[in-house]
């Protein structure tokens, strides 16, 4: 009888729910498992990532937890709450977010940064073998993961396509109140899972708001097939090119019970991002320290004069002849309101671009700040910039002039209110119909013809691409950004220089000769035409293309042509709302212009004649042996091998540039 009673007690203990209960009001003595760039700061903050680009950080509880009843194979209930903060490096330019994670490993093997949040990679994202549950606070919209916006909370199972998501908001006073996840202020999150009813709820709110009675997300989820036993609980976050610091201030967790409330008053403070308020003693005792303030003011004035001299603009004797093409730094500083972040139009490979209004003329301009070494070839470079400033064409963005400071060059352009073409091609918030796209292609072609044949010198743009085509108020395309342009006299041979440009637009011969020509501009224009017609980038890397493999746009369109179905390459966003003959013409002409052998590419004058219907493309195709069913396979192989040379040893960013040192 005693043995039977003992056996019953042992069995009852075996099926009794396991309890794991911990709470951290700060992490100074937490002994968490930290990975990648995650650290615990000296004041007790858990900092997952900092402002370092393209990094990831992770932190997990010290030991794995048992989430399952080993006899019934059911999942225990659990509850957790934590306080987090996302502080972007540049306000209003959101980076990527963070996630609460339950994982079979504290290593998160293969997890990549940026939009993958350090959790997955393109090869395993969505695989049921991951056994990962996460609640994401996502501050960057990724169309490949079907994100609803750039400020949402989502429930993720084994991948980053959320099974349910909603914009960040809390319910109070009878309505939903939206708030920003990346405001830089603390946010509290509550996650609760009922293992009996298989119900999951997620609630979020700013830290100063009492816990809302209604959760933001509620979903019926059976985690029995997702969670293994045991599992690790913790956090993961990542940064991309737009950077942010991710913090956890406090964390509480309870298995088979309600997570303990955090002591908000005991949580560590975030690093100060605004100046400290002036002490009251300075206000009360101001009359007593007037003499000291006067002395300080004089000292500050002396320091200010010295700083003004130290950071004054560079002006050498040879620049005085350039007159109106030379802007004063003080005028550009005032025009851009001191180069404030709210005037920032964008960040590119060569610098930041700011919107400004010249106070003297009230003209709106775009000011690009570029780093430079004034000791190497600056006189020749500025001479070319000023020469380019004399060009006038309706399809070229006007380069108005420049300004130089120590270690910094500022290029001043005509302002384009509708930004760049790539925004309209690749952002789902914007769209262009076929007539608008064809008009833009013809306009850019006219601009290139002017550069190559109609101006007083031959100008090689060297960086023709969608992001360098800007749109005016009427959506007319203008070719801009002449920072890489080079010019030479008609009849002279172009000089050999370093390879520059953007990956995906570089002609194959550039990797061998390093010599830019009008033909290399034509190659880039051909890729640009394919980009406009298909709505695809020149190179799509693994994880971003439909096939999950690296896809070179020119190859893909070429294969469609070989199969006799070239119109399959048209942009799906257009549907069938385009003129088939025109679409076929642009696609074929794009392939001809981006032909591997430079000698087979047409000149810009021929291209315009074909686009305007004054010359048939059939003669051009036939003269080069490019019948769709009889294409020269050797040239295709040559193109691919050259493309491998260009793309094989670069970073994964499509817009990465190969600099020539300017």
Q: How far apart are the first and last CA of the chain?
A: 91
In the structure, how many helices (H) and strands (E) does the chain have?
14, 28
- Residue 231 main-chain phi, psi, to 5 deg: -135, 155
pLDDT band at 643 (very low <50, low <70, confident <90, very high): very low
pLDDT of 273 strictly over 70: no
Active site residue 463: yes
Which whole number is the average pLDDT over 216-221?
A: 95
Measured over all CA atoms, what is the biggest interatomic distance in the chain, rounded to whole angstroms? Answer: 110
The Cα 394–Cα 507 span in angstroms is: 27
The Cα 624–Cα 612 span in angstroms is: 21
The Cα 39–Cα 255 span in angstroms is: 26
- The contacts of residue 151 (CB under 8 Å, 6+ apart) are 94, 138, 139, 167, 168, 180, 181, 182
Tokens read off for 119: 């959790």
Residue count (the chain)? 662
The Cα 187–Cα 182 span in angstroms is: 10
pLDDT of 301 strictly over 80: no
Burial classification of residue 506, based on how many CB atoms lie within 10 Å of its CB (0-12 exposed, 13-18 middle, 19 or more buried)? buried
**pLDDT at residue 434, as a whole number:** 95
For residue 336, CA distances in Å to 359, 372, 419, 547 come to 10, 21, 17, 44
**pLDDT at residue 542, as a whole number:** 55
Is residue 611 a contact partner of residue 571, using CB atoms and an 8 Å limit?
Answer: no
pLDDT higher at 508 or 644: 508
Task: Of 13-17, 80-84, 125-129, 325-329, give the lowest mean pLDDT range.
Answer: 13-17
**pLDDT at residue 604, as a whole number:** 95
- Residue 560 main-chain phi, psi, to 5 deg: -60, -40
pLDDT higher at 653 or 206: 206
pLDDT of 658 strictly over 70: no
- The DSSP call for residue 477 is E
At 392-441, the pLDDT tens digits run 899 998 888 888 877 678 888 889 988 889 889 988 788 899 999 999 99
For residue 26, CA distances in Å to 203, 204, 206, 232 come to 21, 20, 18, 20
Q: Which of these is catalytic: 36, 147, 463, 571?
A: 463
Neighbours of 362 (CB within 10 A): 7
Ramachandran region of residue 488, left (φ > 0), alpha (ψ -120 to 50) or beta? beta
pLDDT of 498 strictly over 60: no
Tokens read off for 510: 């550039």
- For every residue of 564-582, DSSP letters joined together read T-GGGGS-GGGTT-S-HHH
Which whole number is the average pLDDT over 150-158?
A: 94
In whole numbers, what is the pLDDT of the chain averaged over residues?
Answer: 81
Tokens read off for 567: 């119109």
Q: Which of 7-11, 17-21, 107-111, 378-382 has the highest mean pLDDT?
A: 107-111
Neighbours of 622 (CB within 10 A): 12
Share of the chain above pLDDT 90, in %: 48
Burial classification of residue 613, based on how many CB atoms lie within 10 Å of its CB (0-12 exposed, 13-18 middle, 19 or more buried)? exposed
């Amino acid at each position: 009888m005693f043995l039977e009673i003992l056996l019953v007690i042992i069995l009852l203990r075996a099926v009794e729910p396991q309890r794991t209960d911990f709470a951290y009001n700060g992490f100074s003595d937490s002994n968490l498992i930290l990975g990648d760039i995650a650290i615990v700061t000296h004041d007790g903050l858990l900092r997952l990532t900092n402002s370092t680009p393209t990094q990831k950080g992770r932190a997990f509880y010290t030991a794995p937890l048992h989430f399952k009843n080993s006899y019934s194979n059911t999942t225990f209930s659990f509850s957790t709450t934590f306080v987090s903060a996302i502080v972007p490096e540049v306000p209003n330019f959101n980076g990527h977010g963070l996630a609460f994670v339950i994982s079979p490993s504290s290593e998160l093997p293969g997890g990549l940064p940026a939009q993958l949040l350090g959790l997955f990679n393109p090869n395993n994202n969505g695989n049921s073998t991951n056994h990962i549950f996460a609640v994401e606070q996502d501050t960057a919209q990724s169309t490949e993961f079907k994100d609803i916006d750039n400020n949402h909370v989502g429930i993720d199972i084994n991948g980053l396509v959320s099974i349910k998501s909603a914009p960040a908001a809390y319910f109070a006073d009878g309505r939903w109140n939206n708030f920003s996840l990346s405001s830089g202020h603390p946010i509290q999150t509550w996650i609760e899972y009922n293992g009996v009813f298989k119900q999951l709820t997620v609630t979020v709110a700013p830290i100063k708001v009492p816990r809302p009675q209604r959760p933001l997300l509620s979903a019926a989820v059976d985690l029995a097939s997702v969670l293994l036993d045991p599992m690790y609980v913790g956090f993961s976050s990542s940064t991309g090119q737009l950077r942010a610091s991710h913090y956890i201030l406090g964390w509480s967790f309870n298995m088979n019970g309600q997570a303990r409330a955090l002591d908000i008053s005991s949580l560590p403070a975030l690093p100060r991002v605004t100046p400290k308020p002036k002490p009251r003693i300075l206000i009360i005792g101001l009359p007593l320290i007037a003499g000291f303030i006067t002395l300080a003011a004089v000292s500050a004035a002396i320091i200010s004069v010295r700083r003004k001299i130290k950071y004054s603009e560079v002006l050498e004797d040879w620049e005085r002849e350039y007159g109106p093409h030379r802007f004063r730094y003080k005028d550009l500083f005032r025009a851009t309101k001191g180069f404030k972040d709210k005037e920032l139009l964008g960040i590119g490979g060569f610098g930041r671009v700011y919107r400004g209004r010249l106070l003297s003329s009230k003209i709106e301009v775009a000011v690009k700040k570029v780093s430079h070494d004034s000791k190497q070839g600056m006189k020749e470079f500025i001479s070319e910039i000023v020469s380019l400033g004399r060009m006038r064409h309706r399809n070229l963005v006007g380069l108005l002039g420049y300004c130089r400071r120590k270690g910094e060059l500022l290029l001043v352009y005509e302002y384009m209110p509708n930004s760049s073409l790539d925004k309209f091609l690749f952002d789902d918030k914007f769209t262009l119909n076929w007539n608008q796209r064809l008009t833009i292609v013809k306009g850019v072609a006219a601009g290139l013809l002017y550069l190559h044949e109609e101006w007083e010198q031959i100008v090689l743009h060297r960086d023709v691409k969608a992001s360098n085509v800007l749109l005016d108020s009427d959506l007319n395309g203008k070719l801009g950004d002449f920072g890489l342009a080079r010019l030479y006299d008609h009849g002279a041979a172009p000089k050999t220089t370093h390879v520059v440009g953007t990956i995906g637009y570089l002609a194959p011969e550039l990797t061998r000769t390093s010599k830019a020509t009008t033909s290399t501009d034509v190659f880039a224009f051909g890729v640009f035409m394919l980009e406009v017609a298909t709505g695809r980038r020149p190179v799509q890397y693994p994880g971003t293309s439909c096939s999950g493999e690296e896809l070179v746009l020119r190859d893909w369109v070429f294969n469609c042509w070989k199969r006799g179905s070239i119109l399959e390459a048209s942009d799906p966003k257009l549907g069938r709302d385009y003129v088939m003959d025109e679409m076929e013409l642009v696609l074929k002409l794009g392939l001809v212009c981006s032909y591997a052998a430079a000698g087979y590419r047409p000149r810009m004058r021929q291209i315009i004649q074909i686009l305007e219907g004054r010359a048939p493309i059939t003669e051009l195709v036939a003269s080069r042996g490019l019948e769709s069913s009889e294409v020269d396979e050797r040239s295709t192989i040559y193109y691919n091998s050259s493309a491998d040379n260009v793309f094989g040893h670069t970073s994964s960013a499509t817009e990465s540039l190969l600099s020539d040192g300017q």
